[in-house]
Amino acid sequence: SETLFYEMADRLAEDGWRDLGYKYVNIDDCWSAKQRDAAGRLVPDPERFPRGIKALADYVHARGLKLGIYGDLGTLTCGGYPGTTLDLVERDAQTFAEWGVDMLKLDGCYSSREEQAEGYPAMAKALNATGRPIVYSCSWPAYQGGLPPEVNYTILAEVCNLWRNYDDIQDSWDSVLSILDWFSANQDVLQPVAGPGHWNDPDMLIIGNFGLSYEQSRSQMALWTVMAAPLLMSTDLRTVSASAKEILQNRLMIQINQDPLGIQGRRIVKEKFHIEVFLRPLSQAASALVFFSRRTDMPFVYNTSLAKLHFPEDAVYEVQDVYSGKIISGLKTEDSFSVSINPSGVVMWYLYPTAQPWHIVRQQAPGDGFPPVLL
């Protein structure tokens, strides 16, 4: 009911989440009444949302937060509630704007490919026509298999701010791995299409629920961050554990996720002994590295060098371990190093150059430095 969303807004505002950038309170499917009103407008379920969506939006806004809502481009939502057919796109966009909604996720159940090809761009146009800034999350590519030629990512990036490419996440490690595998297998297509204002969305963070161990929770956070994923939590903030909260509120992690360049990372190494390495380029010639173990037996000591990971020759880096905070100074590209990675766990590094070859230096504006991030 609406009580859940009022209480989540309180938790976001009072428990440090909002100040770290977690600002959206998003309602999923099943919020509406089973029928539209006499004028054909969507209405919230009168028993579960007796004060209405506008009142909830006002409450959320008063706490420095934003409200997201769910719709579906079809005859029904996935849960069987009224959908947004093509003739109702403008009406529903206007309704959401009048309520003060700040984000719309538009699903694709009970619609055809042709209706989606017309309806998703039509909703973008209708949202813009309201004059209210509304982040637009599309499920369009997920219903087309997620890949070209069925999905035209050039058009998608012009229409949507973020999009679901693949299956819904479940509260399990197997689900996290299946999503990671699909994104990694198709990274040559997916990685270049992400950027500021248009993001691939591998679905929600399930950290704090029941399906992931501590190590797996740390892994999902690191891997979603290196993939430049929108960080949308799906957990009860009233009862979230201290360890899950610590992972989700890691300041350096969030800084890396929100890097202004907006470049999505890639898997750059896949070892036969089940260690994988992911790299995300960041602003000011910094980088994020994730060393990920798919092993299930024991901690594994992985030996490599930045040279093997194709970092520039003759550079020297300061390294900060994103989880432990430990600093490694003066790491040269050619230096060998080792990291101990727990089973289904990660080691994540934030690296920034302190001495660089000329071709990196030339990319920097005069006077740009690389201060360490000490948190």
Looking up residue 345, the CATH number of its domain turns out to be 2.60.40.1180
Q: Which residue among 258, 279, 303 closes a domain?
A: 258
- Give the per-residue pLDDT at 357: 57
Same domain for 196 and 58, yes or no, is yes
> pLDDT tens track of the chain, all 375 residues?
999 999 999 999 999 999 999 999 999 999 999 999 999 999 999 999 999 999 999 999 999 999 999 999 999 999 999 999 999 999 999 999 999 999 999 999 999 999 999 999 999 999 999 999 999 999 999 999 999 999 999 999 999 999 999 999 999 999 999 999 999 999 999 999 999 999 999 999 999 999 999 999 999 999 999 999 999 999 999 999 999 999 999 999 999 999 999 999 999 999 999 999 999 999 999 999 999 999 999 999 999 999 999 999 999 999 999 999 999 999 999 999 999 999 999 999 999 999 765 544 333 333 333 333 333
Same domain, 237 and 336: no
Task: Give pLDDT, residue 361.
Answer: 39
pTM: 0.94
pLDDT of residue 363: 39
Q: Is 373 part of any domain?
A: no
| Claim to verify: residue 125 and residue 220 sit in the same structural domain | yes
Point out the domain boundary residue: 235, 258, 281: 258
User: What is the enclosing helix (H) or strand (E) of 106?
Assistant: strand 103-107
Domain span at residue 41?
A: 2-258
Give phi and psi for 99, each to the nearest 5. -75, -15
Q: Looking at the annotation, which residues are catalytic? A: 107, 168
How far apart, in whole angstroms, are the C-alpha atoms of residue 220 and residue 204? 10
Query: Is the same domain home to 142 and 227?
Result: yes
pLDDT tens string 262-297: 999 999 999 999 999 999 999 999 999 999 999 999
Residue 158 is assigned to a structural domain of this protein: yes
Asked, for residue 367, whether it belongs to a domain, the answer is no
Long-range contact set of residues 339-342: C-beta below 8 Å, sequence gap at least 24: 339/291, 339/301, 339/302, 340/299, 340/300, 340/301, 340/302, 341/275, 341/291, 341/292, 341/293, 341/295, 341/299, 341/300, 341/302, 342/215, 342/293, 342/299
pLDDT per position as a tens digit, 160-205: 999 999 999 999 999 999 999 999 999 999 999 999 999 999 999 9
Q: What is the DSSP letter of 81?
A: S
Last residue of a domain, one of 236, 258, 280: 258
Say whether both 185 and 237 belong to one domain. Answer: yes
Q: Same structural domain for residues 245 and 346?
A: no
Q: Is residue 90 part of a domain?
A: yes
- Please report whether residue 348 resides in a domain: yes
Both 248 and 100 in one domain: the answer is yes
**CATH number for the domain that contains residue 110:** 3.20.20.70
The answer on 8 and 143 residing in a single domain is yes
* 327 and 225, same domain (yes or no): no
Across 310-322, b (16+ Cβ under 10 Å) vs e yields ebeeebbbbbbeb
Asked if residue 364 belongs to a domain, the reply is no
Domain count, the chain: 2
Is 374 within a domain? no
Q: Is 194 among the domain residues? A: yes
314 with 183, same domain: the answer is no
pLDDT at 371: 37
Q: Are residues 128 and 192 in the same domain?
A: yes
- Count H helices, E strands: the chain? 12, 14
Residues 319 and 179 in one domain: no
Coil, strand or helix at 23: coil
223, 292 Cβ separation under 8 angstroms = yes
